[in-house]
Amino acid sequence: MPWIEHKSQPLLSRSAFLLRMLISVGMGTVLIVISLVMGMIGYHHFEKLEWLDAFLNAAMILSGMGPLAQPGTDGGKLFAGAYALYSGFAVLFIAGITFGPLVHRMLHKLHADQDDIDEVADNLQEQPPP
C-alpha cells in the first residue's frame, strides 16, 4: 500500500484508508505516551514529585492547561519551561500525523491542487471590483 497516492491515482479503498488512519492514530498515540513519559521523568527528577503527581503535571502541560504544582527549583523551572515549549510543538506535530491522512483524502477527493488554487486566484484578480 502506498503511503500517499498521487492525485492522478484513484482514491484508496475504504479498508486501505482505515488502515492508514489506524497507523496514523497509533503513531500519534505512541508519541503522546513518549512525551508523557519524558515529562514524568523530568518532574520526578527535578522536582522530586511522586510518579502520579509527575504524570498529572506532565499531562496538564501536554494538554495545554498548565502545571498544577509550581516548580520550586531552578532546574525544575528550566525543565518546566522547556517541556512546555516542546509540548506546544509536539501537539501540532502529533495532530498533523494523526489527521494528515484524513485531510489528504478530503483534498484528493475534491481534487484540490495548486493549479486549481492558482486558477481561482487568477479569476478573482481579473474580475472588476463591484
Encode pLDDT of 5-16 as tens digits.
776 777 778 888
User: In sequence order, which residues have a C-beta less than 8 Å from that of residue 31 and are 6 or more positions away?
Assistant: 90, 93, 94, 97
Residue 113 and residue 6: Cα distance in Å, rounded?
A: 11
Q: What is the pLDDT of residues 12-70, one digit of tens each?
A: 788 888 898 999 999 999 999 999 999 999 999 999 999 999 999 999 999 988 888 88
Domain 14-99, what architecture?
Answer: Orthogonal Bundle (1.10)
Q: What is the CA radius of gyration of the chain?
A: 22
For residue 13, give the DSSP letter. P
pLDDT at 112 over 80: no
Q: Indicate the pLDDT class of residue 130, thresholds 50, 70 and 90.
A: low
> What is the Cβ-side half-sphere exposure of residue 14, based on CA atoms within 13 angstroms?
0
Residue 108 and residue 103: Cα distance in Å, rounded?
A: 8
Q: Where are the domains of the chain?
A: 14-99
pLDDT at 2 over 60: no
Sign of torsion, CA 31 37 39 41?
negative
Backbone φ and ψ for 7, nearest 5 degrees, come out as -65, -25
The distance of Cα 103 from the centroid of its chain, to the nearest Å, equals: 13
pLDDT attached to residue 62: 92
The SS3 of residue 32 is helix
Site of grid cell 484508496: 12
pLDDT at 113 over 60: no
